[in-house]
Homo-oligomer: A and B are copies of this chain.
Amino acid sequence: MALKSFIHVHPDSHFPIQNLPYGAFKTHSTTLPRLGVAIGDYVLDLSEITKSGLFNSPLLAGSDCFLKPTLNKFLAMGRPAWKEARDTLQKLLSSTEPALRDNMELRQKALVPMSEVEMVLPMEIGDYTDFFSSMHHAKNCGTIFVGPKNPIAPNWFRLPIAYHGRASSVVISGTDIIRPRGQGHPTGNSTPYFGPSLKLDFELEMATVVGPGNELGKTIDVNEAADHIFGVVLMNDWSARDIQAWEYVPLGPFLGKSFGTTISPWIVTLDALQPFACDASKQDPPPLPYLAEKISKNYDIALEVQIKPSGQKDSSVVTRSNLKNLYWTLTQQLAHHTINGCNLRPGDLLGTGTISGPEPDSLGCLLELTWNGQKALSLNGTTRKFLEDGDEVIFTGCCKGDGYNVGFGTCTGKVVPPRD
């Protein structure tokens, strides 16, 4: 019989007992953020569970990791501690276990309705890296910017291309995104344009949250890389295409990206995703030995992007994709990142890159969907080439299990005009 919680969980909820994603939250009565896991429409406050002494497994008994305002300490403890926490929490929340179920005082303190919490960034992000691992996205971008002849550079098939992103401007779902100002250079103009970006876009991504890191100068083996991945989030790598196009030669994206990057509040653990593992894409040419995995896995995570224009009641689906569309795996990304000895730290964020699929309705950004603004996208009576002020962009991600979901909730942000 399937594992079941004493908490009522709707069948279409993203947060059944099989999931238990981690996040950080504030309430009216708390000043510092607290750590919790999502269960149905509730957040289980892990500081209360700690204080009640219910974390009694070898690595967690007596630990203050869940009394901190961020997950970094827990992330550093690694998979054995993560497994203990998952086992303890699944047991505590199960319908057959009385310890929490029948302790009304503790339930009152530890189970906070989601509607009463404000989610905040669950970890301190030392460094944020963004990969470029969907072949369809690479091909489309290359065709738009370089031309159809050799849209994908030959290095792309040999290594997971990436760039360092900006950690300071990673924000939690729900934060307004202020339209960036900057320089653009429309073709034919000799003086650059300066002003609010005219080509604001979203990028549908997911991102790995790093667990234990590595020492500077050491590498992480690709076959052990999964032990350094705590979980994944949804990520919107907002992009100003006009700023990006003008600035990126020869050192890559900078201000076209660094005005904001949104992540979903709940980190779904790699353990919760295991039932949804699937074969990774076939790679041809075969990867060099340091990237060759004994078992090369991806995850079947259905992704959807909706846009809700200001003043409209309903949002419109603009794309449907899947993490499966990645060419390079999360573990290859992580191992490659360390092959030069670069040190990862707990809480680091590794974006996948825009996750585009092969079909026209599975493209992960407006740049591709509107072919750089050449054709408009229909949105429930209106149209879009790029994002307008007031547009809310809503990502969802979900794995369909047998009678339950393991979902990510949403990752949202509304575009607002520049300040100053």
Contact = CB atoms under 8 A, between A and B. Distances in A.
A103 interface: no
A252 interface: yes
Number of copies: 2
A190 to B, nearest CB: 9
Interface stretch (A27-35, A214-222, A358-366): A214-222
A390 B318 CA distance: 56
A283 to B, nearest CB: 14
B342 A158 contact: no
A259 B192 contact: no
Contacts of A154: 185
B251 A132 contact: yes
Interface string A204-227: 000000000100111100000000
A185 B191 CA distance: 37
Contact of A288 (B178, B183, B243, B288): B183
A280 interface: no
A168 B339 contact: no
Contacts of A178: 216-217, 341
Interface string A146-183: 10000001110011011111111101000000101111
Contact of A168 (B182, B285, B343): B343
A181 to B, nearest CB: 6
Interface string A239-274: 010010011111111111011100000000000000
Contact of A164 (B145, B164, B185, B340): B164
Contacts of A256: 340
26 contacts: A145-B250, A155-B192, A155-B246, A155-B249, A158-B183, A161-B250, A162-B251, A163-B251, A163-B254, A167-B167, A168-B344, A169-B343, A178-B216, A194-B288, A216-B259, A216-B260, A218-B420, A243-B340, A248-B251, A250-B252, A251-B252, A252-B252, A255-B336, A255-B337, A255-B340, A259-B341
